[in-house]
Amino acid sequence: MRDLNRIKVVLVEKNQMVKWLAEELEKNPTTVSKWCTNVPQLDLRTLDKIATLLDIDQKEIITEKN
């Protein structure tokens, strides 16, 4: 199964941690961790918030870099 998002990769690229993202989104770290492993997929509103927090375009979270 192909990963549907790159949250984990982008967090590493931005030198951030799941815990930081969870605190910024006011979510449980376990929930954010599951998003990072593509267990459940997040909604588009949350994806937009993550992109804003990480100062990147939404496409960078869902599209593989070449």
Higher per-residue confidence, 64 vs 10: 10
Q: What is the pLDDT of residues 3-58, one digit of tens each?
A: 678 999 999 999 999 999 999 999 999 999 999 988 888 899 999 999 999 999 99
Helix H or strand E segment including 27: none
Domains and CATH numbers, the chain: 7-62 (1.10.260.40)
| Residues contacting 18, CB < 8 A, separation 6+ | 8, 11, 29, 32, 33, 36
Per-residue pLDDT band at 2 (split at 50, 70, 90): low
